[in-house]
């Protein structure tokens, strides 16, 4: 099973800051790495697919990069509405797995 | 708009059986894979398995194989997650998901609203 390790676990930031969340895979997943945002009491929502492909309707301040085992999600100029937990997910090998999540708090 | 609509919250006792459902408004539902994701209280996301609605081909996470059954009824565009004997540790929110790519190895573009299962 591929283990996805996210860092940091938690980050407290002020509006307009830029943050980067990292997801490291225990094996090569190519570009089969996706990012989701889950706000409190809501279903997760797809933010970025295949490492860096943007999703229609997702603000352009969200971007992804990486391949192989190292990936990043960057949120530029954070807004209050970005308070959420962010998860990475690999679909390269069964069983599919998720990272442990990164909780982002807006001060 | 593509949607997955899940059945309502359930409160059950240990040892009881349960089936929850996920109905899709996706056209050509039988051409898609629909999966299930568990989220235990205060915890992260876990992929349970995925089924091809067209022929009910299922891929399970080994951690959940034998513990749950995933099935589909393409005539009513519905996928099910079933337990024969619930445990307290099955208490969780369950989401159905769909990769719109049509392949089971895609990103989960669509998520249902979640079904909360409480077992005591």
Helix (H, G, I), strand (E, B) or coil at B107: coil
What would the pLDDT profile of A30-47 be if each residue is shown by its tens digit? 999 999 999 999 999 999
Predicted local confidence at residue B104, as pLDDT: 86
- How many percent of chain B have pLDDT more than 90? 88
Two tokens, residue A37 = 């945002």
Which positions 15-44 of A are in contact with B (Cβ < 8 Å)? Answer: 32, 34, 36, 38, 43-44
Helix (H, G, I), strand (E, B) or coil at A33: strand
CA separation for the pair B31, B3 (Å, rounded): 15
Across the interface, whether the CB atoms of A101 and B45 are under 8 A apart is answered: yes
For the sheet with A19-25, list strands across it: A4-7, A19-25, A70-75, A62-67
pLDDT class of B102 with cuts at 50, 70, 90? confident
B113 interface with A at CB cutoff 8 Å: yes
Two tokens, residue A7 = 């860092």
More confident residue, B102 or A86: A86
CA separation for the pair B67, B75 (Å, rounded): 26
Tell me the pLDDT of chain B averaged across its residues.
96
Q: Which residue of B has its CA nearest to A44?
A: B111
CA separation for the pair A82, A91 (Å, rounded): 25
Contact between A47 and A60 (Cβ < 8 Å)? no
Rounded to a whole number of angstroms, the distance from the CA of B84 to the nearest CA of chain A is: 23
Nearest to A101 among B44, B106, B109 (CB): B44
């Amino acid at each position: 099973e591929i283990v996805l390790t996210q860092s940091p676990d938690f980050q407290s930031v002020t509006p307009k800051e830029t943050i980067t969340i990292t997801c490291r895979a225990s094996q090569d997943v190519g570009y089969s790495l996706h990012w989701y945002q889950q706000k409190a009491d809501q279903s997760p929502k797809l933010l970025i697919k295949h490492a860096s492909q943007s999703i229609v309707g997702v603000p352009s301040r969200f971007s992804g990069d990486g391949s192989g085992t190292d990936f990043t999600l960057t949120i530029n100029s954070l807004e209050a509405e970005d308070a959420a937990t962010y998860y990475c997910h690999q679909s390269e090998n069964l069983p599919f797995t998720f990272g442990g999540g990164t909780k982002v708090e807006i001060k | 708009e593509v949607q997955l609509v899940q059945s309502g919250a359930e409160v059950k006792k240990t040892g009881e059986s349960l089936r929850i459902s996920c109905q899709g408004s996706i056209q050509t539902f039988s051409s898609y894979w629909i999966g299930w994701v568990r989220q235990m209280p205060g915890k992260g996301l876990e992929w349970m398995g995925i089924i091809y609605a067209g022929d009910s081909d299922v891929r399970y996470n080994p951690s959940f194989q034998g513990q749950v059954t995933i099935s589909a009824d393409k005539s009513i565009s519905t996928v099910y997650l079933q337990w024969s004997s619930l445990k307290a540790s099955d208490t969780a929110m369950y989401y159905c998901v769909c990769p719109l790519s049509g392949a089971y190895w895609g990103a989960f573009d669509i998520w249902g609203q979640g079904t909360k299962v409480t077992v005591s």
